[in-house]
Amino acid sequence: MNKIEEQIKQTEQELEQETHNLARLKNRKTYYENGERQKRTHCLITRGAAVESIAPSVKEMSEVEFYELAEKIIALPEVQNLIAKEVN
């Protein structure tokens, strides 16, 4: 009986350790996922700030107006060519 109780105790300890390891790995995964999200958010904010610094009047526009303007600008052939050049 003692041997079985020992095995149960050891198995419970192993289960507890593995549960802790699983929680640690989940935390690490969340940390890396949030890190990528934070990088993207930072990039979007800095690009938005750049647009506002170049064209301060966009601050007065609604979100819909801003998107309509951005779509019109990006649709211009000259802008398409510049984007293609910069990407390549």
Per-residue pLDDT at 45 exceeds 90? yes
CA distance 66 to 30: 33
**Tokens coding 43:** 């990039």
Phi-psi region of 61 (alpha: psi -120 to 50; beta: other; left: phi over 0): beta
pTM of the model as a whole = 0.56
| Mean pLDDT score of the chain | 93
d(CA 11, CA 9): 5
